[in-house]
Amino acid sequence: MRRIKIFDTTLRDGEQTPGVNLNAQEKALIAKKLDRMGVDVIEAGFAAASKGDFEAIREISRVVETATVASLARALPGDIDRAWDSIREAKFPRIHTFIATSDIHMKYKLKMTEDEVYKQAVDMVRYAKGKCRDIEFSCEDASRSRREFIYRVLEGVIEAGATVVNIPDTVGYSYPDEFGTLIRDIRNNVPNIERAEISVHCHNDLGLATANAAAAIKAGAHQVECTVNGLGERAGNTALEEIVMLMRVREKELNATTNIASTHIAPTSATVSQLAGIGVQPNKAIVGGNAFAHESGIHQHGVLENATTYEIMTPESVGYSKNKMVFGKHSGKHAFTDKLREMGYDFNREKIDELFKKFKALTDVKKEIFDADIEYLAQGSIKEVEEKTKLVTFEVVRHSLNCIKADIVMESSGRKEFGSGTGDGPVNAIYQGINTLLGREYELKEYSIHGITGGADAQGEVRVRVAHGDSVGSGRGIHTDIVRASAEAYIDAINCIESIRIA
Ligand SMILES: CC(=O)SCCNC(=O)CCNC(=O)[C@H](O)C(C)(C)COP(=O)(O)OP(=O)(O)OC[C@H]1O[C@@H](n2cnc3c(N)ncnc32)[C@H](O)[C@@H]1OP(=O)(O)O
Ligand SMILES: CC(C)C(=O)C(=O)O
Ligand SMILES: [Mg+2]
C-alpha cells in the first residue's frame, strides 16, 4: 500500500478565495487543527505578500509540532529570503518556489523566453537550497505547458536540489486520463525523477480537481495538494476531505492510503468555514449539511434497516457523531470544557469560566446550542484587537415609515457615553449614532449577514468592512439579535482601524 502525502494549502491557496482574509491567530488555530489531523505539509502562506502573512507564517512555524511548514515564494531572491525568514523556526521547514512554464504565461505574463525561465527556475532552486534542505518547485500551469520543456525544467531543478516537484493544473483545464498520462510521462522522461517526490495541485474550474488528483495518484504521484472545503482561487482546489475519503473508501482499488485521522475532518471543516466566512454548500461531498441526510422514504427505510444501503462511509468516520452531546441551559461546565478541548481550544480555567458565563447567557435566548455556536464563542476570545470601545446598550424606535431613531450607550476608554442617530433602517440609524458618539465619519463599505445555525432562534453573524480616511478595518458581530450583531460588528471594525493607527 502506498502512503500518499497530504499537502494542505488552505492557508495559502485557500486564502486566495475572494473575500477571505485570516489573521495570524485564526491561521495558527487552523494550522494546529491540521497538524492534529495528521496532514504531512501545511502551506502556511506567501511570506512576501504582506507583513501580516509573514507574521502568521512565523507564528504557525512555532506552534506546528509534526507537519512540515511550507512558505510560497516566486522564483526571486527577495521572495525566497522572506519565505525562509518566515519558516526558519519550524521543526520541518520547506521553501516552495514556482515559476510558470506554459507558453501563454511566459509570453503574456512573465514576458520571458523558455531559456530565461529555465535559468531562473534552476538558479532560484539552487539559491533556496543554500538556505533550506527541503525545497519544493512548481511549474505553474504545467498542464498547458510544452511537455519537452517541463521535462527539461524538472531535470534542472532536481539537479539543483529540489526535493519535491509539483505539477499544477493551475486553471483546472485537464481531465483525468490526460492528467494521469502527464504524470506517467514525467516519470518516464525526466532522467533524475527518482531523486524527487512528485506532487500534484489541481484546480476545480471544470469540477474535476479531485478526479484529476486521483488519476495522478494512480499514475504514481506521491503527494496531493488540497484545501479544506475545497477553498481556493476561483472554483477552488482539490478538497482535502474528498481525496482523503476517496483513498479511505476505495483503498484497495487505489492501493493508496494517507496519515489523516479522518474523524477530524468535520470539526476542521466547520472551523475553516466559520473563520473564512465561506459557508459549505449543503450538497458538498463529505462535509455538506446533507452529506449524511436522508429525506425520501425509500432511502430512509433502507438506512433504518442497514445504513450501508445508502451510505458508503459512516458519518462517524469523518467526525460527525450520531449520539451528539446536546448543549442547552441545563448543561454544565464539565461537558462545556470537554467540548472546547475536543474543538482544539486549550484555554486556562479563567478563560473557560468567562466563556461559560457567555454560554449560559446564550442559553437564555437560544433553545439548543450547536457546535457552531460554541466555536464562535471560543473564536471571539482569540481576537487580537483590543476592545477600546464597546457597546453597552441601545434602543431603536420607529418615527415614521422611513425614519428610525437609535439611542446608543457605549463605553469608550472606560467612560460611558451617549449618542443618537437616525436612518431609514435600524442598522443605518445605529451606525449614524455611533459616528455621532465617536465624533468621526466612519464609512460602511461592505455588510453581510448569515445565520450560523438553523431555527428561529439562530444566531446571526454580521461581517462588515469600515473605512476612515485611508484606514480600513473588518469586523464581526454574532448575536441572536441581528441589530445588535450589526452594531458589534461595526464597533469591532472601528477598534480594528484604531488599533492599526496606534500600532
Ligand atoms: C497560481 C498561484 O496561485 S500563484 C500565487 C498567487 N498568489 C498571490 O499572488 C498572492 C500574493 N501576491 C502578492 O501579494 C503580490 O502579487 C506580490 C507581493 C507577490 C507581488 O506584487 P507586485 O510586486 O505588486 O507585482 P504584481 O502582483 O502586480 O505582478 C507580479 C509580478 O511578479 C512576476 N512574477 C509572477 N510570477 C512569478 C514567479 N513565479 N517568479 C518570478 N516572478 C514572477 C510578474 O511577472 C510580475 O512582474 P513585474 O512586476 O516585473 O511585471
Ligand atoms: C503556486 C502554484 C502551486 C499554484 O497555486 C497553482 O499553480 O495553482
Ligand atoms: Mg493553485
d(C-alpha 304, C-alpha 290), whole Å = 17
Ligand nearest the Cα atom of residue 54: 1
Q: How many CB atoms lie within 10 A of CB 295?
A: 7
1-5, 158-162, 343-347, 383-387: least confidently modelled range: 383-387
The helix (run of H) or strand (run of E) holding residue 390 is strand 389-400
d(C-alpha 5, C-alpha 131), whole Å = 24
Ligand nearest the Cα atom of residue 123: 1
Residue of 20, 53, 71, 74 best suited for mutating to test ligand 1, as the one with most atoms within 8 Å of CB: 74
Going from the C-alpha of 463 to that of each of 39, 57, 169, 350, 428, the distances in angstroms are 30, 25, 33, 28, 15
Name which residue sits closest to atom 42 of ligand 1, judged by CA: 74
> Homologous superfamily of 2-276 in CATH?
Aldolase class I (3.20.20.70)
Name which residue sits closest to atom 50 of ligand 1, judged by CA: 110
Going from the C-alpha of 303 to that of each of 235, 283, 300, 317, 442, the distances in angstroms are 33, 18, 5, 17, 55
- CA-based Rg of the chain, rounded to a whole angstrom? 25
- Is 364 annotated to bind a ligand? Reply is no
Q: Which three cell numbers stand for residue 482?
A: 441581528
Q: Is the ipTM of this complex over 0.90?
A: yes
With a 6 Å cutoff on the Cβ, whether 13 touches ligand 2 is yes
Can you give the pTM of this predicted structure? 0.78
Note the pLDDT tens digit of each residue in 131-170. 999 999 999 999 999 999 999 999 999 999 999 999 999 9
Going from the C-alpha of 486 to that of each of 216, 391, 418, the distances in angstroms are 47, 11, 18
* Over residues 374-379, mean pLDDT: 83
Name which residue sits closest to atom 5 of ligand 2, judged by CA: 13
With a 6 Å cutoff on the Cβ, whether 204 touches ligand 2 is no
pLDDT value of residue 343: 81
Amino acid at the residue 306: N
pLDDT value of residue 382: 60
What is the CA(244)–ligand 3 centre distance, in A? 19
Strand 2-3, strand 256-257: pairing? parallel
What is the CA(347)–ligand 2 centre distance, in A? 36
* Over residues 45-69, mean pLDDT: 97
pLDDT value of residue 194: 98
pLDDT value of residue 475: 85
Closest Cα partner for 389 from 419, 351, 429? 419
For 431-438, the CB contacts below 8 A with 24+ separation are: 431/486, 431/487, 431/490, 432/406, 433/394, 433/406, 433/407, 433/408, 434/408, 434/410, 434/487, 434/490, 434/491, 434/494, 437/408, 437/410, 437/412, 438/389, 438/410, 438/412, 438/494
Ligand nearest the Cα atom of residue 105: 1
With a 6 Å cutoff on the Cβ, whether 86 touches ligand 2 is no
DSSP letter at 367 equals: S
Q: Does residue 9 carry a pLDDT above 60?
A: yes
Domain 389-502 has CATH 3.40.1360.10: no
**Ligand 1 atom, smallest distance to 100 CA:** 39
Side-chain half-sphere of 310: how many Cα atoms within 13 Å? Answer: 16
Closest Cα partner for 10 from 201, 282, 140, 245? 201
What is the CA(138)–ligand 3 centre distance, in A? 10
d(C-alpha 216, C-alpha 231), whole Å = 20
With a 6 Å cutoff on the Cβ, whether 46 touches ligand 1 is yes
d(C-alpha 121, C-alpha 364), whole Å = 61
With a 6 Å cutoff on the Cβ, whether 110 touches ligand 1 is yes
With a 6 Å cutoff on the Cβ, whether 48 touches ligand 1 is yes
Kindly state the percentage of the chain with pLDDT values over 70.
97
pLDDT value of residue 323: 43
Note the pLDDT tens digit of each residue in 236-263. 999 999 999 999 999 999 999 999 999 9
pLDDT value of residue 188: 98
Name which residue sits closest to atom 11 of ligand 1, judged by CA: 49
d(C-alpha 373, C-alpha 274), whole Å = 10
User: Phi and psi for 389 in degrees, rounded to 5?
Assistant: -125, 130
pLDDT value of residue 503: 45
Task: Look at residue 354 and give its three-state secondary structure.
Answer: helix
With a 6 Å cutoff on the Cβ, whether 170 touches ligand 2 is yes
The helix (run of H) or strand (run of E) holding residue 444 is strand 443-451
Note the pLDDT tens digit of each residue in 324-345. 456 778 888 887 888 888 887 8
Give yes or no for a contact between 141 and 101, defined as CB atoms under 8 angstroms apart: yes
- Is 237 annotated to bind a ligand? Reply is yes
Name which residue sits closest to atom 2 of ligand 2, judged by CA: 140
With a 6 Å cutoff on the Cβ, whether 233 touches ligand 1 is yes
Name which residue sits closest to atom 5 of ligand 1, judged by CA: 13
Give yes or no for a contact between 144 and 152, defined as CB atoms under 8 angstroms apart: no
What is the CA(252)–ligand 2 centre distance, in A? 30
* Over residues 432-446, mean pLDDT: 93
Name which residue sits closest to atom 46 of ligand 1, judged by CA: 110
With a 6 Å cutoff on the Cβ, whether 209 touches ligand 1 is no
Q: Does residue 453 carry a pLDDT above 80?
A: no
Q: Which residue has the higher pLDDT, 382 or 460?
A: 460
Q: Which three cell numbers stand for residue 444?
A: 460602511
With a 6 Å cutoff on the Cβ, whether 136 touches ligand 2 is no
Max mean pLDDT among 20-34, 316-330, 443-457 falls in 20-34
d(C-alpha 423, C-alpha 42), whole Å = 47
With a 6 Å cutoff on the Cβ, whether 112 touches ligand 1 is no
Q: Does residue 483 carry a pLDDT above 70?
A: yes
Name which residue sits closest to atom 8 of ligand 2, judged by CA: 170
Amino acid at the residue 336: F
Q: Does residue 384 carry a pLDDT above 60?
A: no
In this prediction, residue 370 has a pLDDT band, given cuts at 50, 70 and 90, of: confident
Give yes or no for a contact between 430 and 482, defined as CB atoms under 8 angstroms apart: no
- Is 255 annotated to bind a ligand? Reply is no
pLDDT value of residue 322: 62
Kindly state the percentage of the chain with pLDDT values over 90.
72
With a 6 Å cutoff on the Cβ, whether 449 touches ligand 1 is no
With a 6 Å cutoff on the Cβ, whether 201 touches ligand 2 is yes
In this prediction, residue 19 has a pLDDT band, given cuts at 50, 70 and 90, of: confident
Mean pLDDT of the chain: 92
